[in-house]
Amino acid sequence: MDDGGSGAALPAIVFAAQRPDLRIALVEPLLRRTTFLEEAVELLGLRNVLVVRARAEERGRSGPTADVVTARAVAPLPKLAGWCLPLLRPGGALLWYDFRIDNPRNRNVKGIRRAEILDLFPGLQGDVRSLTLAPPLSRTLVPVSRVLATLLSAIPLLRTHLLAVQVKPNHLRTPHLVVPYRPPLVESRPFRSGFLPFALPDLGKDEFEELKCTLDSGWITTGPKTEQFEEEFARAVGARHAIAVNSCTAALHLALEAIGLRQGDEVVTTPYTFTATSEVIRYFGARPVFVDIDPYGFDIDAAKIDRVVSPRTKAILPVHIAGLPVQVPAIREIANKHGLQVIEDAAHAFPTKYRGTMIGGMSDFTCFSFYATKTITVGEGGMICTNNDRWAERCRLMSLHGISHDAWQRYGAEGSWYYEVVAPGYKYNMTDIAAALGLVQLRKAGTMRSRRTEIARLYSLAFEGMPELQIPADRSDCQHSWHLYMLRLNLDTLKIDRAQFVMEMKRRNIGCSVHFIPLHLHPYYRETYGYKPTDFPVAYGEYLREVSLPIYSRMTDEDVHDVIAAVREIVEESRAWRRTG
């Protein structure tokens, strides 16, 4: 479809973007309209790639003349453009030489200097920070059409660093200008000199000394250090019993076993959690019954729990997300009305308080995690807390093969070789090596939380005035553990999605994560229960825009400022264009 002017060009480009199989041709006068690309991308409203190709021929002039432009949306990228994609920052522009030179005088050019390239693009002089010549360079490089040079320098959208130049003689007669549908990001250097991991444990000489003491004692499996850790942790959270195990998954499993969960039973929980919360229910052949979340804090919406309780319901399993406590009293009230047990997944919630009371002694069970990324760590570990003597005894028994109480002492001076297996238990016990770490981490927990709280405060102060961002929830009547800083992107104000935001943070040497992929989106739950993404619309919607920033006590002030600067820079450069006039 040829058009003799620029008036009908933009509708044609939009139509072509919606129909990747179509190609349109626009004649030379369009090139003089220097805003056409900017307007076209704004009108597209699509996250794809616009490829503008100019046919160049040697006509006795010093350089090729572009006289025809074709535009098309491509999906997937052509192999030619795909080759350079790893070098191209989202939002960047790539000028790709790929044409045969008809003028023999240009065939012996060996290379081209950075300054010579910049001379072709006067509008880029202030923005180019580095130049990467994509290998292997051909023996032939020629000046780009002055028309294209003018176009590139005149459009703010394309004012970015030049990333790659390659020539393939005897191939196509067309230079390619590849323009992704994203705003430009002009920095080509890493934001930091070193990578900032998303999470790191805060370990020091005290932990090493405690480990050495344990190793020197010769008792490295479950023993006196584990018992001491249990006692000190129980006091810290205000629970009568604490049983140390090798993961929070084990803790949840043992708690469900203790209440007698059976095949065909149901447990009410949230889809917005890690898979362990729900998988332990499936261990028994029981069904996890999902309830959508409250968007304020990502936790289960207590107002919706009553609707799904049935005669088969055995328990409610809420999750304290990021370290902000759920509405425990409201959930307890529902549980009491229906005769249900409450098992809290507190993997994120130490040390967390609800209205002055530590999470750990408020429900039938509370299960904690001491995984490597958690607020205190033993490498791999967990803890079951309960005020029920019978359930505590059952969990302790089942955590070590179902062997009679204090079986670990049978190798000590006061122990006996005789033991009895009273139930088919599991191998979930914690070692003294892990407990030694836990004892030191427990003593440091308050200091580490204070540092995380300060980091969260700095983040929120920096981001709260930005309409593109939603800072995490907090409540004045609670103590947030700040295990996670769950930032949310207001995607309607940005031209990038969450995945690209995370990628841009990584390009700036800052690690981020996403919490969580809702369980009903995973193949197992889709295939087993027939779930669709919109079955839990709040969980699905919040998942699409959530990104977790680094927040741990080992971070320096410089680290924190780097994260803030990176987030603000990405937002500034990725704001959705707004029409003027």
Tens of pLDDT, residues 205-248: 999 999 999 999 999 999 999 999 999 999 999 999 999 999 99
Whether pLDDT at 387 is above 70: yes
pLDDT score of 360 more than 80: yes
d(CA 274, CA 284): 18
Spatial contact of 348 and 483, defined as CB atoms under 8 Å apart: yes
Look up tokens 């249990």; give the residue: 230
Three-class secondary structure of residue 50 per DSSP: strand
Quick one: three-class SS letters along 60-112? CCCCCEEEEEEEEEECCCCHHHHHHHHHCCCCCCEEECCCCCCCHHHCCCCCC
Residue the block writes with tokens 């505590």:
392
The answer to whether 199 and 552 are in contact (CB under 8 A) is yes
pLDDT digits (tens, 9 = 90+) for 238-296: 999 999 999 999 999 999 999 999 999 999 999 999 999 999 999 999 999 999 999 99
Would you state the structure tokens that stand for residue 445, as one six-digit string?
């927990």
Nearest to 344 by CA among 267, 398, 289, 286: 267
Tokens of 54: 């100019």
Q: Is the pLDDT of residue 467 over 70?
A: yes
For residue 414, name the pLDDT band (cuts at 50, 70, 90): low
> Mapping DSSP to helix (H, G, I), strand (E, B) and coil, where does residue 379 land?
strand
User: How much is the pLDDT for 408?
Assistant: 57
* pLDDT above 90 coverage of the chain, percent: 63
For 75-209, strand residue ranges (E) read 94-96, 176-180
What was the pLDDT predicted at 418? 82
- pLDDT in the model for residue 192: 86
pTM: predicted TM-score of the whole model, two decimal places: 0.70
Domain residue spans in the chain?
9-180, 205-441, 445-574
pLDDT above 90 for 81: no
Question: Tokens 């002009």 identify what position?
Answer: 186
pLDDT band of residue 191 (cuts 50, 70, 90) is confident
For the chain, first and last CA: distance in Å? Answer: 31
Tell which CATH classification among 3.30.70.1450, 3.30.450.40, 3.40.640.10, 3.90.1150.10 matches the domain 445-574. 3.90.1150.10
Per-residue buried b or exposed e for 282-298, using 16+ beta carbons within 10 Å of the residue's own CB: eebebbbbbbbbbeebb
Give the pair of three-digit tokens for residue 501. Answer: 């935001």
Q: What separation in angstroms does the CA of 519 have from each of 88, 278, 305, 536, 541?
A: 34, 8, 18, 10, 13
pLDDT at 409: 63
3-state secondary structure (DSSP) of residue 20: coil
Q: Which two tokens stand for residue 150?
A: 């003018």
How far apart, in whole angstroms, are the C-alpha atoms of residue 573 and residue 156? 12
Residues paired with 353 in a beta bridge? 358, 479
Which contiguous run of DSSP H or E holds residue 322? none
d(CA 506, CA 566): 10
Contacts for 297 with CB less than 8 Å, ≥ 6 apart = 321, 322, 324, 326, 473
Residue 156 · residue 38 · CB < 8 Å: yes
DSSP single-letter state for residue 425? -
Q: Are 405 and 397 in contact (CB under 8 A)?
A: yes
Structure tokens at 578: 């707004």
CB count in 10 Å sphere of residue 461: 11
Dihedral (CA of 570, 573, 577, 581) sign:
positive
Decide if 296 contacts 566 (C-beta within 8 A): no
Is-contact 219 366, C-beta < 8 A?
no
DSSP state of 28: G
Token pair in block for residue 298? 């990502």
Of 59, 90, 83, 68, which Cα lies nearest the Cα of 9? 68
| Tokens, residue 307 | 């609707």
Calpha distance 487→473 (Å, rounded): 9
The residues carrying an active-site annotation are 374
What is the percentage of the chain residues whose pLDDT exceeds 70?
Answer: 65
Q: In the prediction, which pLDDT does 173 show? A: 29
**Top-confidence residue, 144 or 491:** 491
The amino acid at 301: D
pLDDT at 164 over 70: no
- What value does the mean pLDDT of the chain take? 74
Residues in CB range of 277: below 8 A, 6 or more apart: 252, 269, 270, 288, 317, 319, 345, 519
Compare 517 and 581 and report the one with higher pLDDT: 517
User: Is pLDDT above 50 for 134?
Assistant: no
Mean pLDDT value of segment 115-127: 34
Task: Kindly report the CATH class assigned to 205-441.
Answer: alpha beta
Q: How far apart are CA 215 and CA 208, in angstroms?
A: 10
CB 296 within 8 A of CB 283: no
Pick from 36-50, 56-70, 413-427: least confident:
56-70
